[in-house]
Amino acid sequence: MSEPVRRKRVGLVQCLDYRMSLELLQHLNIDLVVLDEPGTCMEDSNGPLAHFRVSFYPIDLNPDGGFVQRLYIAARDLRLDGLTTRFDAILRKVAEVAELLGLPALLPSALTIATDKYLTRISAPESDLMQDKIIRVKNKQELEGRLKDPVERLQVFYPVVVKPTNGWGSYGVAKAVNETELLEAVEWAAGSIIGFVNSEVMIEPYCEGPEIDLNLALWDGEVTFSEVCDNAPTAGDLDVVTGSGKKDFQEGLFMYPSKLPESEQTMLCEYIRQCILRMGFRSGVFHCEARVRDSSMHYVQDSQGSIIDLDPNPATVGRQASIFLLEINARAPGYVGLYASGRTYGVDLWALHILHCIGDEARFRALSRPFTSGAQHDSAVLLIMPKNWGILRSDDPRPRLQREHPELAAAVPLCLNYFTVGQEVTPPDDTENCFTSVLLVESKTGRADLMKLVEKARVEWTPVIE
């Protein structure tokens, strides 16, 4: 930068032990002020994470009617230059407090739309053509009544996807192909989802086509960085019932960079940029999900039946591809996905998120520049899901792999293990933590080699639970 960068103070509401993100703030000349529940990982002034923050302030994070006032009182005298969070459940309320403090903030009215899947759906450009196919209900009982209404009986065009309007990720999301499955899925989705009790439920058409994640950085409506990654087919796509008892959409594998043609990636970027602007956002970091209807690519299983990847789709030759928006999250992606894109392109989206929250346009733009040669390698985020509830009996395989298979160990530069030997593993349908491990896998020799490495890593990290 042409001028010295003044030291800033950022308040982070709810802070996890994400080492690289915490270290990054120090390199950005930013002091971290943590506001979190008493007893959480950053509170202890003598703890292993204490050097990452300058101060800690305990606060009740229950997103109830008093949350905004509690946070405002806690933060008003802290001389902050920015206030932010990683968590969807409190994004809008934290933005409201930032506005009250006169700090840069995402527009709360836009966040109201982005954090509600129903409002997101009806804000999309094509929603007018789908009005009779987008349904919102409070619970199973309301749906049953509407399905049996003698005057205005509700029509459902199967297959459909059922999801909690205020859910997080793919928790509580399921596919239904008949009325029995629909009622079961609505009852499941209307339960307690990541802190939201009795969330309303949306029913929408199931869209065939490859699913992607799109990360976008915007400043004043201009895209400063974008990347597309491929989501492998889920149980819902394959019509397979999982441990949740549903045809759910819990992701298990993301591949970087996307194999979709450049034309479809460009269309995705522009379409979703327009959706973001329609919501009322102008700047920030956005982690988005969508499907490409009538894509020129589809997923095909290899001859051994173990690897599924994108290949040209002869059935869609001559058709015009289009975009089906799933969700827009006004935040950076999850930790391992964050560093998958960072290592692939040289752009740290968490850095951009923080720089946006302090209004630092110059560094936001400077650090949005990817490697001039593009993606450095092929990589994947692999999520390991337990198949049953019980006690974990298998240890982290990394130390053994470093001795016996160093090439595989080297291909997994980042791994988060959520349980240790002897701990009770939560069941597959638990909404708080359903993974045993999340891995970043990399290949320097291409996508085909990456997929082989992913399958080897999947075998090694499959937990033994008794």
Mean pLDDT across the stretch 322-347? 95
pTM: 0.94
List, for residues 428-454, the tens digit of each pLDDT value: 666 555 789 999 999 999 999 999 999
Q: What is the DSSP letter of 102?
A: T
Tell me how far apart the alpha carbons of residues 348 and 337 are, in angstroms, rounded to a whole number.
Answer: 11
E strands present in 220-347? 222-231, 247-248, 253-256, 284-293, 297-301, 308-312, 322-329
128 vs 254, more confident:
254
Lowest mean pLDDT among 5-14, 119-128, 145-154, 427-436: 427-436
Nearest Cα neighbor of 321 from 297, 290, 294 is: 294
| pLDDT tens-digit map of 304-321 | 777 899 999 999 999 999
Beta bridge mates, 8: 30
Contact 215, 349 (CB under 8 A): yes
Q: What is the pLDDT of residues 9-27, one digit of tens each?
A: 999 999 999 999 999 999 9
Residue 114 is inside which H or E element, if any?
helix 108-114
Q: Residue 406: how many CB atoms within 10 A of its CB?
A: 10
Question: Strand 55-58 vs strand 30-36: parallel, antiparallel, or unpaired?
Answer: parallel
For 164-219, write each residue's pLDDT tens digit.
998 777 888 999 999 999 999 999 888 755 554 568 999 999 999 999 999 999 99
